[in-house]
């Protein structure tokens, strides 16, 4: 493989409210049996990237547990494999990662010691399927110094994304990073996946280090758009980012579409995740389930509609769950009504609870 | 280095009474409970009991078993010293032979056992669904000062004549035994699970090495008994199910759908491990139904499923009905198809509008010893064309087309075994 992979999974966000109080965004459970980092990690593995570093910082324990064995993504190798780059104190440095670029600067040794000509930097919270070889090919063919995976989005919350303008050759000519006053309409946004020649990245990082710059996008890319050839690779398949409650809820519900599950989980190459030991889902005689995903280990007695139930969820007698996301190990007692809610893992909803959330402002129960 | 106790798991038998289910794989590899294979139960019991060295003896059609076990990762049996080892029969200079009996198979792997210099050897078979703590059995074996201990299970008196029966004294010492007695003197049935002192086992197997088809129940145990050796019983009082026939296999699967199953897979304690891939959750579509059933990950249910066990990645198309059936991984059931009391093995494709399990029971024309109840069995990878009607107690193996069904019907008791398929 011509590239080494780096997955930036250290970020936090307050847009996910209490859901990320105890876990990194990259460790957010998705689609019933997966976690968000599985997508980037599987794309790396499926693209033949043999060496991948995951940069962690915020609430890294949740992520470390998920990545405790690299074998699920086929990274258990003598050569290469999966590296976890946690912030660490050295004689030269006593700082946390102060930004995405700083995280790479603090691990410059790792990048320098590799031999692959390219580096693929991806975020740990994107939901997509991509053969990075295609990006590498375009990168080499276009003579770009940096290639950035971009997606045309019909309607998008510009506060959360970088919005780009391209010229007729897909070169990025302007970049509005997380602006509030952008009018609605179709936008081209940055998906947070960068391909760059390794030696060039090292140069850029060394320069940033000298100038005490810490941010990949705002310090190392945006200021150089005019003199550097930074190209867009247009992704035309599904892409989503789950870093807000609304998008997290919506993204999970997207997986109720059989075609999307087919695309991610049945069409080769598929997205991998840590394998568990749960028995199949059990539907008792009073179960009424419609348009819902029910993961292994779950036991259903009541009614479940338009919902995603993660592993080992229990739904009691006569309970009604509608338009909800119930994370791992949620216990829903008898005679409960839950509508338009996200229930965090291990929460116990006691008998008779009645909770109908505002669909415009989904509440999180824990 | 040594191990206190190692396990030898006999997994080489065909299990011919499972008919079409074992046409392509050994019985221990047959799928069970929507996710597992039969061998997962003794293997998981081993690791849960602290037995971390297991030899799996294979012979009949081992491909599925080999790929299922691999290097033992799902059971944490990928170990530096010990772990799981597949032990197929092998050629020697001079006297090569297949495994000719249970004890003969163990005898041929003496070298494997000696590597670990164990004090005790646990002999297991891959035919049963149960959760058992072998450590407890070992404690009993040691405290009794036994040379060999046989796990026994009380069975209803009227069924005792179907089993190997152990007669014991008050201390649990085995004083006599009878194979399928007409008038049983005890209701303690042998479960085919033995703990031997390794030195006893070694000596016995060497002494009996010339006995043809040397078997534990038929030769080794009687031999120890005759010389007055110390044989003890270990009584087991929990769920234990032989799934060696189509009837008991179907029944054991169906029991899992009970409101509170006697054999509970949903307890945290004593987990059963298996080799499975990661899939998205099961999906029940709008208009789909799932009642009194267990449904594996990755399945898409648009039709209606009732009182059934479905494996992973099963598709039930709109309008299809599945009742009282065991459907294994990757099966596709077409629109409007109706399945009643059937066992459909891996990756079979049931055409739209096909009806399976219709009509009334008729004696099997294929093999009444195997097919003797109203369950219809469709072999792995078989294809059933659209709109045909298949009766009860039928076996279909292979990719069939409409021409195989005169008037679109396969009567109860009938069968189709296509070229290459084996009953």
CATH number, domain of A344, equals 2.160.10.10
pLDDT at B423 over 60: no
Residues in chain B with CB shorter than 8 Å from the CB of A294 are 281-284, 295
Cβ–Cβ gap A283/B272 under 8 Å: no
- Please write the tens of the pLDDT for every residue from A269-289: 999 999 989 999 999 999 999
Answer whether A258's CB lies under 8 Å from A267's CB.
no
DSSP state, residue B269: S
| A256 and A288 together in one domain | no
Tokens of A101: 């670029």
Q: Does any domain span residue A249?
A: yes
Is residue A273, in this structure, part of any structural domain at all?
no
The answer to whether residues A216 and A295 belong to one domain is: no
Q: In this complex, do B278 and A275 lie within 8 Å of one another by their Cβ atoms?
A: yes
Does A83 share its domain with A182? yes
Q: Both A42 and A70 in a single domain?
A: yes
A345 and A231 within one domain:
no
> B6 pLDDT band (50/70/90 cuts)?
very high
Look at residue A59 and tell me if it is in a domain. yes
Which chain A residue has the Cα nearest residue B283?
A293
Is the predicted pLDDT of residue A304 greater than 90, yes or no? yes
Under the banding of pLDDT at 50, 70 and 90, the label for residue B303 is: very high
The pLDDT tens digits of the residues spanning B220-269 come to: 999 999 999 999 999 999 999 999 999 999 999 999 999 999 999 998 89
Question: How far is Cα B121 from Cα A264, in angstroms, rounded to an integer?
Answer: 46
Contact B35 A71 (CB under 8 A): no
Is the torsion defined by CA of B54, B58, B64, B70 positive or negative? positive
Task: Give domain status of residue A151, yes or no.
Answer: yes
Cβ contact (<8 Å) for B35 and A285?
no
Residue B411, both tokens: 């009567």
Of the candidates A265, A290, A316, which is a domain's last residue? A265
Q: How far is B208 from chain A (nearest CA, A)?
A: 42
Give how many domains chain A has, as a whole number.
2
A233, A265, A297 — which closes off a domain?
A: A265
**Residue B305, Cβ density class (10 Å: 0-12 exposed, 13-18 middle, ≥19 buried):** buried
Residues in chain A: 366
DSSP state of A178: S
pLDDT digits (tens, 9 = 90+) for B248-262: 999 999 999 999 999
Between CA A243 and CA B296 the distance in angstroms is: 30
In a domain, residue A308? The reply is: yes
Give a yes or no: residue A229 inside a domain: yes
Mutate: best of B259, B265, B272, B281, partner A, most A CBs <10 A? B281
List Cβ neighbours of A48 (8 Å cut-off, separation of 6 or more): A1, A133
Q: Which range of residues forms the domain containing residue A178?
A: 3-265
Strands, E assignment, A184-244: 187-197, 230-235, 239-241
| Closest Cβ–Cβ partner in B271, B282, B313 for A277 | B271
Integer Cα distance of B99 and B8 in angstroms: 14
Q: Distance from CA of residue B41 to its chain's centroid?
A: 9
Question: Are A287 and A254 contained in the same domain?
Answer: no
* Contact flag B297-A33 (C-beta cutoff 8 Å): yes
Which residue in chain B is spatially nearest to A259 when comparing CA positions? B300
Same domain assignment for residues A321 and A261: no
Q: How far apart are CA A337 and CA A321, in angstroms?
A: 6
Q: Across the interface, do A294 and B282 touch by the CB < 8 Å criterion? A: yes
Q: What is the pLDDT of residue A59?
A: 84
Query: CATH number of the domain that A44 lies in?
Result: 3.90.550.10
As separate numbers, helices (DSSP H) first and strands (DSSP E) second, chain B gives 8, 33
Question: With 80 as the cut, is the pLDDT of residue A184 above it?
Answer: no
Residue that is last in its domain, among A265, A297, A320: A265
Chain A residues whose CB is inside 8 A of the B272 CB are 277, 279
Nearest C-alpha of chain A: how many angstroms from B311? 8
Does A302 share its domain with A248?
Answer: no
In chain B, what residues touch A34 (CB-CB under 8 Å)?
278, 280
What's the complex ipTM? 0.94
- CA A234, CA A241: separation in Å to the nearest integer? 16
Given a cut of 90, is residue A78 above it in pLDDT?
no
Beta strands B53-57 and B5-10 are: parallel
Q: How many helices (H) and strands (E) does chain A have?
A: 8, 28
Q: Do A24 and A62 have their domain in common?
A: yes
Do A249 and A310 have their domain in common? no
Quick one: pLDDT band at residue B420, thresholds 50, 70, 90? low
Distance CA A296, CA B297 (A): 6
Residue A183 is predicted with a pLDDT of 67
Q: What distance in Å separates residue B75's CA from the closest CA in chain A?
A: 10
A240 in the same domain as A302: no
Report if residue A49 sits inside a domain. yes
Q: What does the mean pLDDT of chain B come to?
A: 95
Give pLDDT, residue A182: 67
A238, part of any domain: yes
A204 and A302 share one domain: no
């Amino acid at each position: 493989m011509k590239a080494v992979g780096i997955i930036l999974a250290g970020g936090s966000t307050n847009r996910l409210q209490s859901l990320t109080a105890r876990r990194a965004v990259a460790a957010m459970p998705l689609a019933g049996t997966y976690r968000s980092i599985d997508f980037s990690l599987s794309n790396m593995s499926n693209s033949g990237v043999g060496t991948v570093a995951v940069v962690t910082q915020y609430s890294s324990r949740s992520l470390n547990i998920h990545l405790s064995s690299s074998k699920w993504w086929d990274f258990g190798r003598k050569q290469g494999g999966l590296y976890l780059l946690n912030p660490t104190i050295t004689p030269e440095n006593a700082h946390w990662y102060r930004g995405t670029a700083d995280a790479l600067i603090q691990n410059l040794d790792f990048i320098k010691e590799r031999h692959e000509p390219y580096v693929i930097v991806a975020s740990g919270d994107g939901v997509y399927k991509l053969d990075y070889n295609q990006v590498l090919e375009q990168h080499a063919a276009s003579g770009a110094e940096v290639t950035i995976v971009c997606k045309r989005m019909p309607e998008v919350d510009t506060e959360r994304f970088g919005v780009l303008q391209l010229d007729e050759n897909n070169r990025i000519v302007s970049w509005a990073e997380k602006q509030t006053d952008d009018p609605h309409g179709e936008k081209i946004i940055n998906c947070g996946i960068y391909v760059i020649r390794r030696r060039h990245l090292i140069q850029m990082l060394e320069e940033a280090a000298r100038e005490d710059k810490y941010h990949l996008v705002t310090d190392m890319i945006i200021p150089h758009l005019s003199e550097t050839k930074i190209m867009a690779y247009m992704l035309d398949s599904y892409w989503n980012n789950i870093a807000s409650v609304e998008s997290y809820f919506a993204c999970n519900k997207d997986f109720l579409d059989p075609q999307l599950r087919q695309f991610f989980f049945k069409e080769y190459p598929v997205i991998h995740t840590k394998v568990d030991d749960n028995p199949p889902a059990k539907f008792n005689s009073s179960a009424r389930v419609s348009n819902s995903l029910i993961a292994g280990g779950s036991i259903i007695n009541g009614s479940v509609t338009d919902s995603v139930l993660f592993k080992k969820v229990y739904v009691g007698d006569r309970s009604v769950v509608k338009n909800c996301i119930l994370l791992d190990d949620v216990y829903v007692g008898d005679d409960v009504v839950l509508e338009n809610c996200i229930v965090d893992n291990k929460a116990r909803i006691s008998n008779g609870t009645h909770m109908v959330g505002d669909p415009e402002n989904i509440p999180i129960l824990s | 280095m040594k191990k206190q106790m190692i396990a030898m798991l006999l997994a080489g038998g065909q299990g011919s009474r499972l008919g079409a289910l074992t046409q392509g794989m050994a019985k221990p590899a047959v799928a069970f409970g929507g996710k597992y294979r039969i061998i997962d139960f003794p293997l998981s019991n081993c690791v849960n009991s602290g037995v971390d060295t297991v030899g799996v003896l294979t012979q009949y059609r081992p491909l599925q078993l080999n790929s299922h076990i691999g290097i033992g990762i799902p059971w944490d049996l990928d170990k530096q010293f010990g772990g799981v080892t597949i032990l197929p029969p092998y050629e020697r200079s001079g006297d090569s032979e297949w495994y000719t009996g249970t004890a003969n198979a163990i005898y041929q792997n003496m070298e494997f056992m000696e590597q670990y210099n164990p004090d005790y050897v646990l002999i297991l078979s891959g035919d049963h669904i149960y959760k058992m703590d072998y450590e407890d059995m070992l404690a009993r074996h040691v405290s009794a000062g036994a040379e060999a201990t046989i796990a026994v299970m009380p069975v209803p008196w009227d069924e005792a004549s179907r089993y190997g029966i152990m007669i014991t004294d008050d201390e649990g010492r085995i004083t006599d035994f009878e194979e399928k007695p007409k008038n049983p003197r005890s209701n303690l049935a042998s479960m085919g699970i033995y703990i031997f002192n390794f030195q006893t086992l070694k000596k016995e197997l060497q002494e009996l090495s010339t006995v043809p088809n040397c078997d534990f129940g038929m030769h080794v145990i009687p031999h120890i008994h005759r010389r007055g050796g110390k044989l003890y019983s270990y009584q087991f009082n929990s769920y234990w199910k032989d799934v060696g026939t189509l009837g008991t296999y179907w029944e054991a699967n169906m029991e899992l759908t009970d409101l509170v199953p006697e054999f509970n897979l949903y307890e945290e304690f004593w987990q059963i491990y298996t080799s499975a891939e990661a899939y998205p959750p099961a999906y029940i579509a709008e208009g789909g139904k799932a009642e009194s059933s267990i449904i594996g990950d990755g399945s898409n249910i648009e039709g209606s499923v009732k009182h059934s066990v479905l494996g992973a990645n099963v598709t039930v198309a709109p309008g299809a009905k599945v009742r009282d059936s065991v459907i294994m991984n990757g099966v596709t059931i077409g629109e409007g198809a109706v399945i009643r009391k059937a066992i459909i093995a891996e990756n079979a494709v049931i055409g739209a509008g096909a009806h399976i399990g219709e009509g009334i029971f008729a004696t099997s024309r294929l093999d009444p010893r195997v097919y003797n109840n109203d369950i219809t069995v469709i072999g792995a990878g078989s294809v059933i064309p659209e709109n045909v009607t298949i009766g009860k107690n039928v076996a279909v193996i292979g990719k069939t087309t409409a021409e195989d069904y005169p008037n679109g019907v396969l009567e109860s008791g009938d069968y189709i075994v296509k070229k290459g398929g084996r009953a």
